[in-house]
């Protein structure tokens, strides 16, 4: 990560080679907007590695001119700023028009791997979809998304990414005055379930088909020749979401607000608002301040994804088959595949955490048993699985020390070791698999909050240190980062997280 400390010589050369396919769609898909000019733009964090992946010069982006581009003060050449239209079910209640209320899509670039990527400014000001909001973002939510999304990427989870965080010099008024900031987000598109719902709710089936063509070309190009592309795209979305949610849960991650407008049809994690990683494990853990009924608790995320996908199926039904009965039957068949797909993805995500193959006959029972053990004492989720790596090598003392009463653990450890032996998994191989699946360092809530508080006071060092440690989450942390792997002290524990608006 590169933090700019001094300006470098910068000309007016375009930082990105834009090719904006979404801006070429019919104008009812978006509203053309201009970012709000910040009074005093200043770059705070720059993801230099990601900049290079996008074909951009990090030195140019770190310059004063770069700060103007990455804050919305000035448009980079080739940008065509717009706010996307979409609808969504929010906590089960349908809102026919939402849209980008504080995000502005600058355009698209083809990265060095040949993948088309969106560049979007979050917190860049009011749009026609802002409703009563100001369209701005405070520094805290910007840093949270920067830290957590980059950690998710490092842990191998499909996700939007963070290119830059810029201070605006403006004051954002929430419960208290806060420093304003803008996040430059990178994603393989920003089409959501709610984007399809927006047009389907209007009966605009031509727009649904146009959007489907865009998503297939963008996110599912291997389906271009499928005989029924709408059904094939729905099948792909169901499979990707099953894998994604299983990956979240295997890391103890809670998205916090799985509304259909926050669900990326291409299977990326998107919209890091009141998200959190669990410390002490409880299956029904909720962090979001607005999730009063636990709709999006850790153990409710598969149900929420399944429900969201059924809304996508409904929006695509007319494109699947013009005959209503056949369309409903086909869409239902696709949705009914989710439980089995998720169960398989769950085993594939959790079995390596125990050093086992997903097909091992004992894997599912051992996973369930481990979670019951953790829930019994609200044992730290990340520490348990990481210390289990040592137990695979013969030293169970560190993992036993996590439990007040280790006797139930001892019984489980015996069954686990027997499963490893039955599968002919050598201790060193089990430990290798486990260390590749169980992170040593995660963005613990208290560390993220400490980094935000320091940044609001003008000190970015804690955020930079946390980001550096999270680059290689599966490695044992360097001595100077060892404390970042520790759970919070009781007084440091974060029990509630808040939406970024």
Neighbours of 51 (CB within 10 A): 24
What is the DSSP-derived secondary structure letter of residue 221?
G
459 labeled binding residue: no
185 labeled binding residue: yes
99 labeled binding residue: yes
Residue 427 near residue 393 (C-beta atoms within 8 A)? yes
How many residues would you count in the chain? 501
Q: Residue 276 phi/psi, 5° resolution? A: -165, 155
Coil, strand or helix at 185: strand
Nearest to 440 by CA among 462, 469, 466, 461: 469
Annotated catalytic sites, by residue?
261
CA distance 94 to 87: 8
Terminal Cα-to-Cα distance of the chain (whole angstroms):
26
- Helical residues (DSSP H) of 202-288, grouped into ranges: 205-219, 229-250
| Dihedral over Cα of 137, 140, 146, 148: its sign | negative
282 labeled binding residue: no
How does DSSP assign 248-277, residue by residue?
A: HHHTTEE-S---GGG-BTTS-B---SS-EE
Mark residue 432 as left, alpha or beta (left: phi above 0; alpha: psi -120 to 50; beta: remaining).
alpha
CA distance 290 to 257: 9
445 labeled binding residue: no
Beta partners for 21? none
135 labeled binding residue: yes
24 labeled binding residue: no
List of residues 6+ apart from 247 with CB closer than 8 A: 156, 157, 158, 345, 349
How does DSSP assign 157-212, residue by residue?
A: --B-EEEEEEEEEEEEESSSEEEEEEEEEEES---BHHHHHHHHHTT-HHHHHHHH
284 labeled binding residue: no
Return binding residues for Mg(2+). Answer: 262, 271
Return binding residues. Answer: 99, 101-102, 122, 134-135, 185, 192, 262, 271
Return binding residues for ATP. Answer: 99, 101-102, 122, 134-135, 185, 192, 271
């Amino acid at each position: 990560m590169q933090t700019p400390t001094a300006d470098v010589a910068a000309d007016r050369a375009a930082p990105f080679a834009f090719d904006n396919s979404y801006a070429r769609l019919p104008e009812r898909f978006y509203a053309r907007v201009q970012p709000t000019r910040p009074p005093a733009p200043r770059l705070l964090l720059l993801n230099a590695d990601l900049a290079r992946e996008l074909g951009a010069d990090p030195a140019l982006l770190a310059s004063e001119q770069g700060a103007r581009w990455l804050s919305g003060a000035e448009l980079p050449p080739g940008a065509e700023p717009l706010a996307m239209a979409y609808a969504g079910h929010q906590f089960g209640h349908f809102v026919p028009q939402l849209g980008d209320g504080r995000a502005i899509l600058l355009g698209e670039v083809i990265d060095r791997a040949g993948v088309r990527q969106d560049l979007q400014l979050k917190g860049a000001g009011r749009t026609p979809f802002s409703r009563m909001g100001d369209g701005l973002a405070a520094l805290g939510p910007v840093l949270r998304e920067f830290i957590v999304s980059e950690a998710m990427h490092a842990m191998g989870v499909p996700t939007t990414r963070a290119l830059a965080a810029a201070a605006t010099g403006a004051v954002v008024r929430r419960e208290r005055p806060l420093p304003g900031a803008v996040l430059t987000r990178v994603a393989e598109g920003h089409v959501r379930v709610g984007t399809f719902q927006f047009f389907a709710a209007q009966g605009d089936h031509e727009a649904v088909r146009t959007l489907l063509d865009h998503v297939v070309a963008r996110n599912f190009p291997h389906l271009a020749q499928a005989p029924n592309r709408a059904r094939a795209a729905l099948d792909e979305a169901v499979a990707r979401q099953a894998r994604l949610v299983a990956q979240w849960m295997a890391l103890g991650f809670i998205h916090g607000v799985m509304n259909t407008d926050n669900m990326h049809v291409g299977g990326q994690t998107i919209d890091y608002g009141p998200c959190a990683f669990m410390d002490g494990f409880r299956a029904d853990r909720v962090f979001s301040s607005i999730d009063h009924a636990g709709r999006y608790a850790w153990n409710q995320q598969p149900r929420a994804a399944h429900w969201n996908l059924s809304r996508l199926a409904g929006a695509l039904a007319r494109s699947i088959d013009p005959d209503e009965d056949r369309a409903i039957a086909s869409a239902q068949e696709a949705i009914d595949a989710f439980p089995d797909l998720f169960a398989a993805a769950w085993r594939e995500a959790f079995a390596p955490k125990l050093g086992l193959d997903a097909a091992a006959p004992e894997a599912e029972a051992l996973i369930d048993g481990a979670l019951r053990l953790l829930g019994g004492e609200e044992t730290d989720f990340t520490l348990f699985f990481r210390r289990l790596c040592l137990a695979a090598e013969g030293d169970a003392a560190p993992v036993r020390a996590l439990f007040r009463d280790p006797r139930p653990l001892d019984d489980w450890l015996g069954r686990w070791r027997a499963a490893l032996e039955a599968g002919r998994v050598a201790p060193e191989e089990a430990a290798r698999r486990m260390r590749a699946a169980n992170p040593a360092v995660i963005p613990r809530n208290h560390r993220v909050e400490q980094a935000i508080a320091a940044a609001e006071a003008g000190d970015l060092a804690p955020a930079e240190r946390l980001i550096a440690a999270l680059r290689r989450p599966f490695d044992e942390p360097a001595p100077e980062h060892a404390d970042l792997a520790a759970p919070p002290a009781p007084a440091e524990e974060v029990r509630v997280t808040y939406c970024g608006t």
